[in-house]
Amino acid sequence: YAEQGAPTSAEAVLRLMFEDYYNGNLTAEPNVRVYTNVLHAWRKSEDLMALSRIESILSDMDSKFTKRGLRNCRPDKFAYTVAFHCLADTNNPSVAEDADRLLAIMKRQYEEGNQELKTDHVMFTNVLNIFVSNPKTHDRAEGYLWSMIDEFKEGNHSLKLNIRNFNTVVAMWSKSPVPDAALRAQAMVTRLLKMNESNELNLAPDEFTYALLLKTW
């Protein structure tokens, strides 16, 4: 059902699983993997309600963990990655605000002890692409990149930052109509060079970085 993009059928299977579990079949305990398949079904469905349903399901997963004690239902980064994939695929004008809301929920749950929601490279890249693709959120895209660089420097090596992530934002400025786009891109490269020279960050510009900067000018 997930591969076919049939979310209502996938949810029916999930309800059946819960019914079986609550009737005494403890080997049929629902878990985050089953939930994630349901999330995938909504993402692939291209239904207008997909994002709303995905958020509702994520909330239900957290509720099952916190209120019902179903420890295997606790949302993890893979579940949230499906949500961010769904956002990246949508043309909804509020996509950036939706991404901010999901990030805030994740941060709260992480601070409450859900270590599974520590930001990793896949999640970071998906969120960055959402901000980059929206002309209204270009400033936030650059800000998000630098905040993730700071988090990486502080020890979150799950981010596995690479120069492609940096180049994505430089490429964004190369296509931007704002008057100071070239100056913004130049400042980014200069800042990265200083961080690399001072050994703050082992991430040096490559040929594509400079090609994109030239394109911007």
Which whole number is the average pLDDT over 138-163? 90
- What is the predicted pLDDT for the residue at 146? 95
- What is the predicted pLDDT for the residue at 36? 95
Residue predicted with more confidence, 16 or 96: 16
> pTM of this prediction?
0.79
Task: Look at residue 172 and give its three-state secondary structure.
Answer: helix
What proportions of the chain, in percent to the nearest 5, are helix, strand and coil? Answer: 75, 0, 25
Q: Which residues have a Cβ under 8 Å from the Cβ of 49 and sit 6 or more positions away?
A: none
Residue 147: C-alpha distances to residues 35, 151, 153, 207 (Å): 30, 6, 10, 24
CB 157, CB 114: distance < 8 Å:
no
Give the residue ranges of DSSP H helices in 67-137: 77-89, 95-111, 121-132
Cα–Cα distance between 70 and 42 in angstroms, integer? 23
pLDDT in tens, 38-84: 999 999 998 888 888 999 999 999 999 999 999 999 999 899 999 88
